[in-house]
Structure 1
Amino acid sequence: MNKRIDVKEAVLEANRLILHTEDSLSEIKGSMNAKGQMLVDSDQLAFIYLLETDEDFIYAGLPHTIWSKLKEALDKSLPVLLKINDSEVELVQIIDELQYLIDNIKGNANYGEEMETKVTEVFS
């Protein structure tokens, strides 16, 4: 089964970016592992970071409302961590994946005009 959680807040602290979610993952069994892969959700104007457990994939939605903080982490090559409940998971490869997606989206109508415009606006 797949589950989606959405980041509600991004906070820079101690030279790292902490992503907070309001979702609880009490029903998830086992530890979460970062996959180092990202997708794009053009309909929701979000990037999606993939995590997995022994039984599930978890899609962490990174909405456009936190992109300015992601840009700062990108510019400074800061580690990015996702905090769910009392657990933190470092989102490995997020900087490389994010840069790849940004480069791919700019000037590419396949992602939709609104997504292309928003990515260009925030990450240029």
Structure 2
Amino acid sequence: MQSRITIKDAKIVDNMLVLQADQYENDENELQAKGQMLVDSDNLAFIYILETSEQYVYVGIPYTMWKQLDEAKIKELPVYVQVNNKQIELINVIDELSFLLDNIKDNGNYGEELERKVVELFSL
């Protein structure tokens, strides 16, 4: 079973990138960073995986937040997601992102629009 959280804002605060999530209906205290990312080509988003003892929770980072994500990557800033009242560090997010970016660039398998957005919004 899985649920999804969408990021609605991203800001660099105190030398870290904080991704502000939509309201999460379940207990945010159970959420743990898994250290893995996926790509959602259809919705032009990167997906960071959180988990609980019972399910995965997908954190969708839409392309409208990618400039801030790129800045965090360049400056090697830690990235956190703010879920309700809990802030969770997204461990391994920059390494995972870098791996995905390398794979997406010049690779039509992810879809032309996603590839175009990646090249446009990230410093590659």
Q: Count how many residue pairs are aligned between Structure 1 and Structure 2.
A: 123
* Residue in 2 that maps onto 1:80: 79
The alpha-carbon deviation at position 98 of structure 1 amounts to 0.4
Which residue is 2:19 aligned to?
Answer: 19
Counting aligned pairs with the same residue, the percent is 51
Distance 1:92 1:3 in 2: 20
2:83 is matched by which residue type in structure 1? I
Q: Compute the TM-score of the two structures, normalised by the length of structure 2.
A: 0.95
1:43 is paired with a residue of what secondary structure?
coil
TM-score, structure 1 as length reference:
0.95
How far residue 28 of structure 1 moved from its aligned partner, in angstroms, is 3.8
Q: CA 1:24/1:112 → structure 2, altered by over 3 Å: closer, same or farther?
A: same
Mean Cα displacement is larger for which, 29-38 or 85-94? Answer: 29-38
Structure 1, unpaired ranges of 5+: none
Return 5+ residue gaps in structure 2 as ranges.
none
Equivalent residue runs for 1:43-82 within 5 Å: 43-82=42-81
Cα RMSD of the aligned pairs, angstroms, is: 1.1
Q: Distance in 2 between matches of 1:28 and 1:3?
A: 12
After TM superposition, give the deviation of residue 24 of structure 1 in Å. Answer: 2.0
Q: How far apart, CA to CA, are the structure 1 residues paired with 2:104 and 2:83?
A: 29
8 Å contact from structure 2 (residues 28, 84) kept in 1: no
CA deviation map 1:46-70 (0-9, x unaligned): 0000010111110000000000000
